Amino acid sequence: MKSKKQRKIVIEELEKNGNVGHACKKAGIVRSTYYRWREKSKKFSETAEKAFNNGTLAINDLGQAKLILMIRDGNFSAIKYWLSHRDPAFSEKLQFIERLERLKVDGQKDDKSKLDSRERALLKEVIDRDFTQFIRVRVSTINKSLTYSVANQSQL
């Protein structure tokens, strides 16, 4: 009977957070026991998989909600993270800047694909100015959208 109770605990914990290690710890079992149960019981395996997926979605929703709160508070790192993962135009510029920073100049002037330090600095300055303006416009748009969304929800 103990293993039935432990299986139930594992499923409940997976539903909460989608973390196998944490669920096993709460149930007082080792991970290998969990995987053995999945191998031996198709029903348990399907239930555990569904619980894991639901728990993962719940944690993702929580993380996204917290990230949005940080964006509303003006947290620049949160804004940069959101835009770099959700806005293709922002992401492309960020990738370009990262590529530019990784570019190494080895002194070969005949290699037109490489920039000297002055050229790199100038290009980075131009991109940063455009980047900052781009972020301001995006943040303004996000704030307006969030304000509109909150106002509409309060009318429901």
pLDDT tens per residue, range 80-115: 888 877 777 666 666 666 665 565 444 444 444 566
Domain boundaries, the chain: 2-63, 74-155
Going by C-alpha positions, the residue among 142, 137, 3 that lies closest to residue 70 is 142
* 37, 73 Cβ separation under 8 angstroms: no
pLDDT tens per residue, range 21-63: 999 999 999 999 999 999 999 999 999 999 999 999 999 999 9
